[in-house]
A and B are shown apart, each in its own frame.
Chain A
Amino acid sequence: MSEVAQDNNQGKKKGKTKKMSTRVDFTPMVDLGFLLITFFMLATTLNKPQTMEIAMPSKEKVTEEDQTKIKASRAVTILLGKENKVFYYEGTRENNIDPVLNQTDFSPKGMRQFLIKKNYDIMVQVRQLKALKDAEKLSPKDFEKQKDEIIADKKAPIVLIKGTIDSSYKNLIDALDEMAICNIGRYAIVDITPFDLELLAKKL
């Protein structure tokens, strides 16, 4: 590669000039190259950080009329407890009968199973849609659009996530993750109410 074609004509006229080798030893250059690679590998991050996008309701006061009262039958409340415990109940207190508070966790067999059961129809639809996308019969853009329509279904559960003071940030992320996994379209992070605390106190 580094050899240069020699010109013979010149050599004859002026007698034989000493031929210099045109080969260069590249070893130090390789050393330098790998040194720099090592440096860059250690000093940089290759991938951009992952994020989760979240939109919170604005704090502007909403008038009573504007507020949409959610149907008790659609509401699922998730309470984040201490030591990664999770509690959930459906609906609210009706005719002085308290809803049943169940204890679970964030393992695949825990919270998720309940949400999948609750949201089964929509999950099936989304999965069918995803199969279409994977078979390249649907563009990713259309997939997102149609998915949004499906998960905005009027009968889908609405999940309220409430954290107690003993819960951690990880619990919150886990809960938000479950929403994404179970294709829950409507969920909100809400302040815990005295009613929830009362239920929790009874359970413990």
Chain B
Amino acid sequence: MPKVKIKRKSTAIDMTAMCDVAFLLLTFFMLTSNFTQKEPVKVSTPASISEIKLPDRNVISILVDAKGKVFLGADGQDNRVQMLTKMGAAYNVTFTAAELKEFSLINKFGVPITMMKTYLALKSEERDLPQNALGIPCDSLDNQFKSWVSVAKTVNSEYRIAIKADQATTYPVIKKLMGTLQDINENRYNLLTSLKNAPDYE
């Protein structure tokens, strides 16, 4: 008796379409997103209904953590190099070419200028350790924060100032920061917030 032959179906699936989808998605994500920048401290911003977006370029970002430590970052590697050179000249610290190169790769820093040399000598994973996140001095006696911002502005006058502060930061800290910016005639700036829905009436 002849055996009934069951026609075997191939289990191989054509993966071409799947591959197309995967790479399409990949392209989409690569084009629409920008990399998360490493920040020395974790900051949770307060929510607001404002929907204005921060511009991509020419931003000086000021980071203030809950304890009131101030960190600073500016975009553009050339600008960073110029900033550090000028700051070094103002505070009598000379930086080597290697140190300048190293500094141009740092997104956000928060050390007094006198500590900058030791900070730059650290490995990048050591820089964000709590003991190395000192904050930039910004009290009235030694206001390095003020110098940094004014130097940044001379390097690139297109810079906008964006303040990202933790919601638990006390008001006096913010007030002092705003006062400092007022001193150097920086009266327009952006405050970074997370989005919350606007209330609907009636």
A residues with CB within 8 A of B:
1-2, 25-27, 29-30, 33-34, 36-37, 40-41, 43-46, 48-59, 80, 108, 112, 127, 163-174, 176-177, 180-181, 189, 191
Contacts and interface: CB of A to CB of B under 8 A. Distances in A.
Most buried by A among B33, B162, B181: B33
Contacts of A180: 48-50
B174 to A, nearest CB: 5
A33 B183 CA distance: 52
B56 interface: yes
B21 to A, nearest CB: 8
Nearest to A26: B15
Contacts of A27: 15
Contacts, number: 165
A51 B16 contact: no
30 contacts: A1-B17, A26-B14, A26-B19, A29-B19, A30-B18, A36-B26, A37-B25, A43-B36, A45-B35, A50-B48, A50-B52, A50-B54, A50-B194, A51-B54, A51-B190, A51-B193, A53-B188, A54-B190, A54-B191, A56-B182, A57-B182, A163-B175, A168-B167, A169-B165, A173-B47, A176-B48, A177-B48, A177-B50, A180-B48, A180-B50
B189 interface: yes
Contact of A170 (B164, B168, B173, B185): B168
B15 A40 contact: no
Contact of B36 (A44, A166, A176): A44
A interface secondary structure, majority: mixed
Interface string B6-26: 000000101111110011011
B15 A59 contact: no
Contact of A37 (B26, B47, B178): B26
B2 to A, nearest CB: 30
Nearest to B190: A51
A51 B119 CA distance: 31
A168 B171 contact: yes
Nearest to B44: A170
Contact of A52 (B35, B48, B199): B48
A166 B45 CA distance: 18
B36 A45 contact: yes
B175 A41 contact: no
Contacts of A34: 22
B190 A80 contact: no
Please list the 9 inter-chain residue pairs (A to B) with the smallest Cβ-Cβ separation, ordered nearest first.
A33-B22, A26-B15, A44-B33, A170-B167, A51-B190, A163-B171, A52-B50, A173-B46, A169-B169
The residue among A45, A163, A172, A174 with the most chain B CB atoms within 10 A of its own CB is A172
A143 B183 CA distance: 35
Contacts of B64: 169
Most buried by B among A40, A108, A127, A191: A40
A1 B18 CA distance: 13
B199 A108 contact: yes
Contact of A56 (B173, B187, B199): B187
A59 B183 contact: yes
Contact of A165 (B18, B51, B56, B170): B170
Among B17, B64, B175, max chain A CB count under 10 A is at B175
Contact of A25 (B15, B47, B173): B15
Nearest to B175: A163
Given A30-B18, A59-B182, A177-B48, A51 B170 contact: no
A54 to B, nearest CB: 6
A30 B170 contact: no
Given A52-B190, A176-B48, A177-B48, A41 B29 contact: yes
